[in-house]
Amino acid sequence: MNTIHTQPFRYGEDHLTISGAQAIARGAVKGVLSEKGRQQIRKSAALVAQIVASEQVVYGINTGFGPLCTTSINREDAARLQENILKSHAVGIGDPIPQALSILMLVLKVHALAKGFSGIREETVDRIIWHIEAGVIPVVPSQGSVGASGDLAPLSHLFLPLIGLGKVFYQQEIRPADEVLKLLQQEPLQLGAKEGLALINGTQFIAAHAVTGVARFHQLLMQADLNAVLMLEGLSASGKPFYPQLHALRPFKGNQFVAATIHNLLAGSGIVQAHAHCSRVQDPYSLRCIPQVHGASRTAWLHLKELVETEINAVTDNPLLIDETLTISGGNFHGQPLAMALDYACLAVAEIGNIADRRVYLSLEGDTPGVPKLLMRSTGLNSGFMILQYTTAALASENKSLCFPASADSIPTSLGQEDHVSMGSISGRKLLQVIGNVEKIQAIELLCAAQALDFHAPLKPTRIVEQLHLQVRSVIPHLETDQVFTPWLEQAQALVQSGTLIALAREVSKEHQLPYIPELGELFDTY
Measured distance between the N- and C-terminal CA atoms of the chain, rounded to whole angstroms:
25
CA dihedral 513, 517, 518, 524 (to 10 degrees): -160
Residue 223 contacts residue 472 (beta carbons within 8 Å): no
Q: Which one of 11, 59, 516, 527 is the catalytic residue?
A: 59
Q: How far is the CA of 293 from the CAs of 229, 259, 262, 356, in angstroms?
A: 14, 11, 13, 11
Query: Considering only CA atoms, which of 116, 133, 127 is closest in space to residue 35?
Result: 116
Angle, vertex CA 110, rays to CA 426 and CA 172, nearest 5: 70
Dist CA 206 CA 162 (whole Å): 21
Query: Considering only CA atoms, which of 345, 315, 354, 351 is closest in space to residue 427?
Result: 345
The secondary structure element, H or E, covering residue 223 is helix 204-234
Please give the DSSP secondary-structure letter assigned to residue 318.
Answer: S
Q: Identify residue 431 by its one-letter amino acid code.
A: L
Dist CA 293 CA 254 (whole Å): 9
Dist CA 203 CA 213 (whole Å): 15
Dist CA 208 CA 318 (whole Å): 19
Beta-carbon contacts of residue 479 (< 8 Å; ≥ 6 apart): 376, 385, 451, 488
Exposure b/e, 286-324, CB count within 10 A at least 16 = b? bbbbbbbbbbbbbbbbbebbebbbebbbbbbbbbbbeee
Q: Tally the C-alpha atoms within 13 A of residue 506's C-alpha that lie toward its C-beta.
A: 10
The secondary structure element, H or E, covering residue 81 is helix 78-89
Measured over the CA atoms of residue 151, residue 153, residue 156 and residue 161, the dihedral's sign is negative
- Residue 319: asked if its preceding bond is cis (omega within 30°), the reply is yes
Dist CA 143 CA 313 (whole Å): 25
CA 319 to chain centre: 29
Q: Is 243 a catalytic residue?
A: no
Q: Where in the sequence numbering do the catalytic residues fall?
A: 59
